[in-house]
Structure 1
Amino acid sequence: MHKIDSIQYHLLTAKLTDPISIANQHYKIGELYRYSLLSDSAYFYYQKAEKVFRKFNYKYKTAITLYGIAVCQTYDKDYTGSEVTSVEALTLLGQLNENNLIKERKAYIYNNLGIVFDELEEFDQAIEYLDKSLELKQELKGDFQRSIGLTLNNMLKVYRRSGKYDLGIEKYNEIFSNKELINNHPDIHVLALGNYANTLYLSGQTEELPDLYLKALRICDSIDDSYNSIIIHQHLGEYYYNLGKKDSAKYYAYKAKNISEAFNNDDLLKSLLLLSKIEEGDIAANHLNDYIKLSDSLQKKERAKRDKFARIRFETNQIEQENIRIARERMWLLIISVTLIITSFLIYLVINQKNKNNELKFIQQQQEINEEIYNLMLSQQDNIEEARTLEKKRISEELHDGVLGRLFGTRLSLDSLNMNNSTEAAKTRSQYISELKTIEDDIRKVSHELNTDFISGSGFIDIIKTLIETQTQAYGFDYEFKTNGDINWEEASNKTKIHIYRIIQESLQNIYKHANATLVKISFQIKNNVFCLKINDNGSGFDVNKAKRGIGLKNINSRVKEIKGDLTIDSEVNKGTTITIKVRTD
């Protein structure tokens, strides 16, 4: 009991706050009480540990605690309860990945079930469970000799009780042939030897008796095992009683009674019953009365324990139901959470896809607008070209057919005056005719130049100028437009022209909406293969570092990036804004 007191003291003084740690201590105390054959106290601590292990779903811990409870139930003859508890423990272990430790615990539980069914006199099922236990124990890694010996002895006992004496003797020989087991674990040898001797007695093979019983008693004395000597003393009492040697029978029967009084259990009952047979008269009657009283007392205790076990099992079932309810709620919470996450993700995908579609539509609309602008620019350029061609043709025809015709007629008239042979007249006529020829050559030259194409690219500037004139007139502010004549717009791509057109258009619109300007200055220049567009207004301006960029500026910035240019915005409150765009032409 010293170990139990030590653990209880540790439990009281450690001030453990972790429920699992406390449950582990309760389990250890339960184990120590069980090994001390104090099943009532053992069960008390086991059930405390079990409640916590179940609550936190510690399956292995719950299973081994249930095994301890099942053994206690076996001690207290609650065989049906022990069977139910053992099966529940096996079910929990079956849910875990099998390893050496799990196999070991299963083997112990099967061994307990073998004992239970032996007590219930269902011997075939008892052997079946003991076989399973033995098979598992033989597979285990480590030293399990003693445990294997216990299961073999249990099988020997079942065969003895079921009348299969030959099989029982075989099991004893299997134990006795393992000299390492016999030498290292004499307690197992005592159990097996006692069962073997009683098997020989029941089968009528008494040649080695009572020597085997006496040998078993000597081993018990050598290892100070008084408890296991009770049964051997009882067997010796029966043996000598059947031989008619009452004195020897009484000696061993009283020895069994005196030792078993310390335990006050079934062994004391058997001793009292044996003495009531061996003794005579009032002494036999007194032993029989003690037997009946003790039997009633033990039955009441067993019934009370079974009721207590049933009550605790009911509470445990309530805990299980509560755990199931909590698990179900958690499952629904998980399902709802997952559903919400998936739904949110799907909504996000739909919105994202919708935004992408809108973005694609916007890009498509921009492309369509750009194409319309480009076609408009081409159409306007064609109209301008056609108008200029017609105008040049008209002027050319007028010069050629009108002015040249009259000059030609004048020249002929003057030429006809050459009949006047005076020196002065001839000289004058010659000067006029020469001058007329000069005029005729000049007019012919002008006519020829008018019939040739105008400077390339001048059409785009006209389109820009038309845009500026139209927009500023609509918005109600003045403008100044300057361009460098060295810019060859024919080398610029249509994409660049379109974006420049739209940037100017967007800038004028922004100035109208936000700047409250009265004058806009727009200029084109080219220096060192870098084309530069400047748009300046005298409006209200803004703080570039603080102001949020609106859609207009974002569109301008996007277009500048499209043509791989650089955008600079300089602005100051009440001093206007300047937008500078630079694009390399090479």
Structure 2
Amino acid sequence: MDNTGSDLFVIILLGFFLMLLMVSFIIIMVIFHRQRQLENRQKVLALEASYENTLLNAEKEIREETLANVGRELHDNIGQMLSLAKINLSSSKPTSISEGKSIINEVIKEVRGLSKSLNLDWVEAISIEEFIKRELQKVENSGYCKVNFSHKGDALELEKDHKLILIRILQETLNNALKHAAPDMISIEIDNSGEKSVVTIQDDGAGFDTSIESTGLGMTNLKKRMETIGGEIEIASELEKGTLITLYLPK
């Protein structure tokens, strides 16, 4: 009888300890799960903050570049046109007055165009293909170097925020080529026919040694911006043989 009572006590005691272990295990798992949830939430918030920061920087840089272009246009183009209009309108000749009025109309068109460029709503209105053509046309018009653009597959469709960041990436790569490479030719190709959308920017300029770590933030910024929109970037370059930058965008 005593043995039976003793065995029962041991069984109850073991059951209690097992139950205690199970409860402890459940509590630990709940705490661990909550901690993982908190860590994941913090990671999501950090990614969202990084994305917002990248987007704000892209907007700021585009606005600054736009303002610089507006300043140049006001000084070099519109200022000259207004001076010419003033000379013509000061004349008593009917033909000169007519020419002056015509120039004033052109100035109005130019100012309207500049005012539109200050508003980033143009990002939604323009396609990536149109933007690239416009930027390359500017380079060609400047006489700096020759340009080429080609396209495969469907038009590249991106939401506004991603498009804005990609536009800034393209501007940055073009600026780097013009500033540092001194190329004879810059070529941009969009290949939207495969599983990923691929944009390549190639120049035949000075190139650089990719094995030497860059001290600047340019390449780092490009990589971070591509990561922000879920893409990747590859940079291949060789001294005196130019540079090839490949952007991979998810569909």
With the length of structure 1 as denominator, give the TM-score of the two structures.
0.23
Question: Within 1, Cα distance between the matches of 2:179 and 2:58?
Answer: 22
Shift of 1:462: 1.8
Shift of 1:364: 4.1
Which residue number in structure 1 is paired with residue 150 of structure 2? 482
Count of residues in correspondence between the two structures: 146
Amino acid at match of 2:144: G
Amino acid at match of 1:567: I
Which residue number in structure 1 is paired with residue 230 of structure 2? 564
Aligned partner of residue 214 in structure 2, secondary structure? coil
Question: Within 2, Cα distance between the matches of 1:498 and 1:362?
Answer: 10
2:188 maps to 1:553: no
Shift of 1:554: 2.5
Question: Within 2, Cα distance between the matches of 1:559 and 1:362?
Answer: 7
The answer to which structure has the higher helix fraction is 1
Question: Within 2, Cα distance between the matches of 1:368 and 1:500?
Answer: 14
Question: Within 1, Cα distance between the matches of 2:165 and 2:58?
Answer: 11
Amino acid at match of 1:468: L
Which residue number in structure 1 is paired with residue 123 of structure 2? 377
Aligned partner of residue 484 in structure 1, secondary structure? strand
RMSD: 2.7
Unaligned runs of 5+ residues in structure 2 are 1-51, 64-117
Which residue number in structure 2 is paired with residue 494 of structure 1? 160
Change (3 A) 1:581 1:549: farther
Question: Within 2, Cα distance between the matches of 1:485 and 1:584?
Answer: 15
The answer to which structure has the higher strand fraction is 2
Shift of 1:494: 1.4
Unaligned runs of 5+ residues in structure 1 are 1-359, 382-458
Question: Within 1, Cα distance between the matches of 2:149 and 2:182?
Answer: 19
Amino acid at match of 2:238: E
Deviations for 1:432-489, whole angstroms, at most 9, x for unmatched residues?
Answer: xxxxxxxxxxxxxxxxxxxxxxxxxxx4422221122113433701111011242352
Aligned partner of residue 121 in structure 2, secondary structure? helix
CA contact (8 A) 2:128 2:167 kept: no
Amino acid at match of 1:464: I
Deviations for 1:175-200, whole angstroms, at most 9, x for unmatched residues?
Answer: xxxxxxxxxxxxxxxxxxxxxxxxxx
CA contact (8 A) 2:204 2:243 kept: yes
2:210 maps to 1:536: no
Amino acid at match of 1:503: I
Change (3 A) 1:549 1:584: farther
Change (3 A) 1:363 1:560: closer
2:180 maps to 1:514: yes
Higher relative contact order at CA 8 Å, sep ≥6: structure 1 or structure 2? Answer: 2
Match of 1:466 among 134, 140, 148: 134
Amino acid at match of 1:539: G
CA contact (8 A) 2:58 2:164 kept: no
CA contact (8 A) 2:237 2:244 kept: yes
CA contact (8 A) 1:471 1:508 kept: no
Shift of 1:549: 4.8
Change (3 A) 1:488 1:515: closer
Change (3 A) 1:470 1:529: same
Name the % identity.
25
Amino acid at match of 1:470: K
Change (3 A) 1:563 1:365: closer
Shift of 1:535: 0.5
With the length of structure 2 as denominator, give the TM-score of the two structures.
0.51
Amino acid at match of 2:208: F
5 Å-filtered alignment, 1:306-321, equals: none
Question: Within 1, Cα distance between the matches of 2:176 and 2:144?
Answer: 14
Question: Within 2, Cα distance between the matches of 1:548 and 1:475?
Answer: 29
Shift of 1:524: 0.2
Question: Within 1, Cα distance between the matches of 2:215 and 2:228?
Answer: 18
